[in-house]
Amino acid sequence: MKPKKCALVSTPRSGTHFLRSALDNHKYIEFAGEFFKEPFCHFHKTPYSENYKKYPTTIRDYIYDDICDPSISSLDYVGFVWHLVLESDLEKNKLDKFIILERKNKLEQFVSLKIAMKTGSFGHTTTTEKIEVYPESLISFINKHDNLYAEFRSSIKEYKDIYYEDLCANFTKTIKDIHNYLEVREDFQKWGEFCFRTQDRPFAGIPLVKQEIRPMKEVIINYEDVKEYDGF
């Protein structure tokens, strides 16, 4: 049997790497990262630069051309990350399941993106710098993301909603819920009560650490101007 195909649909700074790594840790799931990035967006043609090349040829061939190598025929699912900010269309008819990952606290997401762009680090950073958040820019960010998610949800019939905050607060239950949605065979490895840590902690060979652990009022210079958006 061929494994089914799944897309993890999200936007930047919403915990995509965290969830992808957790799914990839399952014995019967092979979950790749971002295959696609502007301006190379077409699902079937041009890969996501160097990131694409690091994945096994068998996974690439299966996602792109449905060529199923015997080495992956025992898997239940092969998946990849798709960011909604890409301007091309995802060929949804080629996929079996969709996991939609969203961050409820859009202020934290916005700040995380700004810090990543400012420091050049999209992982954990120990910076103590503060940033200013312009309310009009934040509102535009929120509206854009709300529209992207709404439009995608309306374009498919079946999907599983996952929220970053739930993933952090109750990791084991959230992952099991996804496994049930995918209907994968049970993996008997010991998961443990893994959650986001404030210090480096390897998981599936990758340190998964929150980029910013300070409260927003300690990060945003003009916090009083945007504090109404700090929450969900």
Say whether pLDDT at 43 is over 50.
Answer: no
Say whether pLDDT at 14 is over 80.
Answer: yes
The alpha carbon of residue 27 and the mean position of all alpha carbons in its chain are separated, in whole angstroms, by: 20
Q: Which fold has domain 4-104+147-205?
A: Rossmann fold (3.40.50)
- Beta bridge pairs of residue 102: 163
The alpha carbon of residue 215 and the mean position of all alpha carbons in its chain are separated, in whole angstroms, by: 22
Say whether pLDDT at 216 is over 60.
Answer: yes
Tell me if 80 sits within 8 A of 63, measured CB to CB: yes
Say whether pLDDT at 211 is over 70.
Answer: no
Q: How many Å apart are CA 40 and CA 62, to the nearest integer?
A: 19
Q: Tens digits of per-residue pLDDT, 113-159?
A: 888 877 766 665 667 788 999 999 999 999 999 999 999 999 999 99
Q: What is the pLDDT of residue 89?
A: 72
Q: What is the pLDDT of residue 151?
A: 95
The model's confidence at residue 232, banded by pLDDT at 50, 70 and 90, is low
Beta strands in the chain (DSSP E): 4-10, 29-34, 77-83, 97-102, 160-163, 202-203, 206-207
Q: For residue 191, what are the contacts with CB-CB under 8 A and spacing of at least 6?
A: 172, 175
Q: Tens digits of per-residue pLDDT, 96-110?
A: 999 999 999 999 999
pTM: 0.82
Q: Report domain extents, the chain.
A: 4-104+147-205
Q: What is the pLDDT of residue 141?
A: 96
**Mean pLDDT, residues 200-205:** 41
